[in-house]
Amino acid sequence: MIIRVTFKDPDAVYDALYEVAKEQCENKDGIHSKIGELDEQLSKWIELSEYITIEFDTEAGTATVVPKS
């Protein structure tokens, strides 16, 4: 059985990107720029920086992030 679930969390994506950017940048200006860059890279899967859809296949035992349409 295929089950698709869309999650909405406005803080989760930003918080994760902030943590990665903070590790890679030395100043706040660099952090905000890096967050924008990372957000763009994830835009294939994450819509408006807060929506992501995951498809679960119970027969195959898999979970896949669905590219946004």
Average of per-residue pLDDT across 6-27: 93
pTM for the predicted model, two decimal places:
0.81
Percent helix, strand, coil in the chain (nearest 5)?
A: 40, 30, 30
pLDDT surpassing 90 at residue 17: yes
Q: Give me the pLDDT at residue 69, please.
A: 79
Write the pLDDT tens digit of every residue in 22-39: 999 888 788 999 999 999
Q: The domain containing residue 19 runs over which residues?
A: 2-66
Residue 47 has pLDDT above 90, yes or no: yes
CB 6, CB 53: distance < 8 Å = yes
**Neighbouring C-beta atoms of residue 47, cutoff 10 Å:** 15
Domain count, the chain: 1
